[in-house]
Amino acid sequence: MAAILCENCSGWYHYTQVNQPLEISCMLLLIMLGKVSLDLFVLRVKKKNVKVSFMGYFCVSLAFLDFTLLINIAFIFYFEDFALWGVRFTKYHICLFTQITSFTYGILHYPVYLVAVLDYYVTIAQTSQSPKRSKRLFYIFVVVFIWISGFSCILKVPAIYEELEIQKHFSPYQCPSYVSVQSYFVSFTMLLLIGMALLACWKEILMMLLSVRVVSFASQPVLMFPYASNSSSTCCRRQLLTRLLICFLGTWAPFVLLQIIILSLGAQIPAYMEMNVPWLYFINSFLIAVAYWCRCHDVDLTEEMWSTDPFVSWKFCFTPFNNENTEPAEKPGTVIVIC
């Protein structure tokens, strides 16, 4: 076991070499096929009428790069040894391309999440919307810039270049696996913040869960929680935090449990697998919740504002509803949460 420090990219990577019973190129092909299928499935099932955002464009770009890597692996795996534009390609290049992609994915967690949370923090409270065309072009430019910077950073690091050269001497059953510590710290920090929020609001969460009711709203089954208005800003922020937690965990609880298991077992997942579209949308919902809580007093209660998250309906955390389809004896002062 050895460690490689990418000094110019502020990232740590663990290097492990394992002997595979199956040829590594075949395994990488199957893994990338499964990952691309999962990416496309998530992009298909997400809500369509979602407000444009940086994270949305980055998820599409990640799915495109995964698909490109899959096509390259499949092409090389099928022809095995061929020359293209004066360059000879062999099965060694399958491992080479995968490791370059792993290094690049591994150093992009911090910059991508930082840009995403800044995007939400600024746009959530905007009352005047900028033209969609200019916003889309800006997001595309930022996404392209991040990818070019990531690949350029990796290819210019001498230590990584030397390790990639050493792979030429590996057998077809060996390929190093790189794990980004950035992802580990992101998962640890997120779980820590969720745990602190649960400790701060456990009484409110318990009361809301004990009084939850399943009702019909707009021909959909929804969860109805008690809504208590309070003039105190501290109480309001705590009530909002409680509802944000319930909405987030109601949608992403399996992912939270999965992160707890991974961190507890110390599992090392290769970077080319770890950064995927479902993971990015999971982090995306968490960042949106953070932005909503930080700027709760500046949130513009408009229908367009709530179409930010492709999976979580955050508007029910802010707006109390009187359910017209429930019993006549139902009292006002309830909040309906769709998860």
- Can you give the pTM of this predicted structure? 0.79
The residue ranges of every structural domain in the chain are 2-337
Structure tokens at 132: 């969609």
**Bridge partners for 226 per DSSP:** 334
Structure tokens belonging to residue 153: 């950073």
Structure tokens of 206? Answer: 């318990």
Question: Which two three-digit tokens encode residue 154?
Answer: 């990796």
pLDDT given at position 228:
52
pLDDT grade, residue 260 (50/70/90)?
Answer: very high
Whether 43 contacts 280, CB under 8 Å: no
At 50-98, the pLDDT tens digits run: 888 999 999 999 999 999 999 988 888 877 765 566 666 667 777 788 8
Query: CA 202 to CA 10: how far, in whole Å?
Result: 37
Scanning the structure block, which residue is given the tokens 């969609």? 132
d(CA 205, CA 260): 21
| Tokens found for residue 143 | 């996404």
The pLDDT value recorded for residue 308 is: 80
What mean pLDDT value characterizes the chain?
Answer: 76
Location of structure tokens 């697998």: 273
Please check the confidence at residue 299 and state whether its pLDDT lies above 70.
no
What number is the average pLDDT over the span 136-147?
95
pLDDT value, residue 168 = 52
Contact 95, 170 (CB under 8 A): yes
Percentage of residues in the chain having pLDDT higher than 70: 65
How far is 299 from 292, CA to CA, in rounded Å?
A: 7
Tens-digit pLDDT profile for residues 176-187: 777 888 999 999
What is the three-class DSSP state of 261? Answer: helix
Length of the chain: 339
Question: Torsion angle, CA of 279/285/287/293, rounded to 10 degrees?
Answer: -160
Q: What percent of the chain has pLDDT over 90?
A: 31
pLDDT at site 143: 97
Taking the C-alpha atoms of residue 299 and residue 93, their distance in angstroms, rounded to an integer, is 50
Q: What pLDDT, in 10s, does the model give residues 210-253?
A: 776 766 666 666 666 655 545 445 556 777 788 888 888 888 99
Compute the average pLDDT of residues 23-32. 82
